[in-house]
């Protein structure tokens, strides 16, 4: 490879990163400014005296969390996202183990059928699912949306985990079987600990996907405010308080902060997840 001088490369990378960070930074700063300031001057004016504490306030957040119902929505988002992450992981882990390491007739066909489900657009499933939900009384309930998210993510989850587990050395599984472990013990004591990188990256993906999801929540939860997640409430906020930037920015930043935290704490799994299957770790 021809060697590229380092300094220009770094310069370009740093400026690109700054450019990309700009909108989020603006959002954060605006959300912390009093409404009058937001409406009269641009957010960058705070940098005239960046350490002047008096120009910031948490009032917007108080308003959004309380009166605008984002507090309830934050809770709802967690209530939706955590089970909707745990459930598919649990199911996909069992399924992936069975598909990778248990011998039963039709195993390959079953796996192919599951992989084939990856191409089904989720929009196709709304009408039949909604009908079923209506009959089962699952519309506008948390279990309904948990099941929907689980179902949508299972093909990818099973596919990723099965491939990862299938790449574990056969000798290990056989050694455990000879040591007296049942399938369940092989799975819980050997395969799951060894598949942690894949399980963690799938968990990060799934959590972020569910957290950021608007479509599925809108379809299966409808407009019911008691169960609406952040994304729904924020959209409604845009409708009802479209001019109040101080509230919108505070609401938007609250929605963002959880994915940001997840991303920063679990970054290495995120990157590894992107590479899942392409290289052996």
Partner 1 sequence: MAQVKFESVTKRYGDVLALGDLTLDIGDREFLVFVGPSGCGKTTTLRLLAGLETVTTGHLYIGDRQVNDLSPKDRDIAMVFQSYALYPHLSVYDNMAFSLELQGLGKGEIQQRVQRAAQQMGIEALLQRKPKQLSGGQRQRVAVGRAIVRHPAVFLMDEPLSNLDAQLRVQARTEISRLHRELESTVIYVTHDQVEAMTLGTRIAILNQGVLQQIATPQTLYSAPSNKFVAGFIGSPAMNFFDGALVEMADQLWFKAEALTLALPPTALAQYRRYVGQRVICGLRPEDIHDPRYIPPGTVTTPLKGIISHTESMGHEIIVYPTLGDGQTYAARVDRRSTLAPGDSGELAVAIAAPHFFDPHTEAALTTAVDGP
- Contact residues toward partner 1 (CB under 8 A) are 169, 171-172, 174-182, 185, 189-190, 193-194
Q: Least distance from C-beta 173 to partner 1, angstroms?
A: 9
The closest of 195, 199, 178, 176 to 186, measured between CA atoms, is 176
Tokens of 221: 């939860």
Q: Least distance from C-beta 185 to partner 1, angstroms?
A: 6
Q: Least distance from C-beta 179 to partner 1, angstroms?
A: 4
- Closer of 57 and 185 to partner 1 (Cβ): 185
Q: Least distance from C-beta 182 to partner 1, angstroms?
A: 8
DSSP string, 237-265: HHHHSTT-HHHHHHHHHHHHHHHHHHHHH
- Closer of 190 and 221 to partner 1 (Cβ): 190
CA distances from 153 to 68, 97, 119 (A): 31, 17, 12
- Closer of 172 and 260 to partner 1 (Cβ): 172
Q: Largest Cα–Cα distance in the chain?
A: 74
- Closer of 8 and 180 to partner 1 (Cβ): 180
Q: Least distance from C-beta 257 to partner 1, angstroms?
A: 34
- Closer of 28 and 194 to partner 1 (Cβ): 194
Burial class (CB in 10 A: 0-12, 13-18, 19+), 79: middle
Between CA 147 and CA 84 the distance in angstroms is: 7
């Amino acid at each position: 490879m021809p060697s590229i001088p380092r300094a220009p490369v770094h310069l370009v990378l740093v400026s690109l990163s700054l450019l990309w960070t700009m909108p989020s930074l603006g959002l954060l700063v605006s959300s912390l400014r009093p409404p009058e300031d937001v409406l009269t001057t641009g957010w960058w004016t705070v940098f005239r005296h960046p350490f002047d504490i008096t120009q910031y306030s948490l009032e917007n957040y108080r308003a959004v969390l309380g009166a605008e119902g984002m507090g309830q929505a934050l809770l709802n988002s967690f209530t939706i996202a955590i089970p909707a992450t745990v459930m598919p992981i649990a199911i996909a882990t069992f399924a992936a183990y069975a598909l990778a390491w248990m011998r039963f007739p039709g195993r390959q066909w079953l796996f192919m059928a599951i992989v084939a489900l990856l191409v089904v657009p989720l929009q196709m499933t709304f009408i039949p699912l909604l009908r079923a939900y209506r009959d089962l009384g699952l519309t506008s309930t948390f279990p309904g949306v948990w099941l929907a998210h689980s179902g949508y993510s299972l093909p990818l989850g099973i596919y990723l985990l099965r491939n990862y587990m299938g790449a574990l050395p056969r000798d290990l599984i056989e050694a455990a079987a000879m040591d007296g472990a049942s399938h369940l013990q092989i799975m819980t004591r050997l395969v799951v600990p060894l598949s942690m990188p894949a399980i963690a990256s799938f968990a990060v993906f799934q959590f972020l996907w569910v957290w950021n999801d608007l479509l599925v929540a809108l379809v299966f939860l409808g407009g019911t405010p008691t169960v609406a997640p952040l994304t729904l409430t924020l959209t409604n906020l845009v409708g009802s308080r479209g001019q109040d930037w101080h509230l919108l920015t505070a609401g938007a930043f609250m929605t963002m902060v959880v994915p940001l935290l997840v991303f920063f704490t679990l970054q290495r799994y995120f990157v590894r997840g992107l590479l899942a299957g392409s290289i052996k770790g």
